[in-house]
Amino acid sequence: MANIRVHIRFPEDKIKEPVIYQIGHEFKVVTNVRRADVRETTGWMDLELTGDSTEIERAIAGLRKKGIIVDPIELNVVE
């Protein structure tokens, strides 16, 4: 089972959508919010995705398809 940590940024029109919930249900991944700052017009989140590496990649692609900006966290900054 793989773990990947990503930093995601929400465009203003996606702030109120439950995209993390949706990803957890659309793909076979466990989502774990490590840090977040979500306000009325802007938001970001450090998210840990756990599951099969193929499913994690599909989940990341799904986030991007929804208009979410996804960047890998290369250092272990959310421990």
pLDDT band at residue 77, thresholds of 50, 70 and 90? Answer: very low
pLDDT at 62: 96
pLDDT tens sequence across 17-68: 999 999 999 999 999 999 999 998 899 999 999 999 999 999 999 999 999 9
**Chain Cα centroid distance, residue 15:** 13
Contact 29, 35 (CB under 8 A): no
- Specify the pTM: 0.87
Q: Is the pLDDT of residue 75 over 80?
A: no
For residue 74, the model assigns a pLDDT of 72
Q: In Å, how far from its chain's centre is CA 73?
A: 11
Q: Is 78 a residue whose pLDDT tops 70?
A: no
Domains of the chain, with CATH numbers? 2-72 (3.30.70.260)
Element containing residue 69 per DSSP (H, E)? strand 69-72
Cα 39 to Cα 1, 36, 47, distances in angstroms: 33, 10, 17
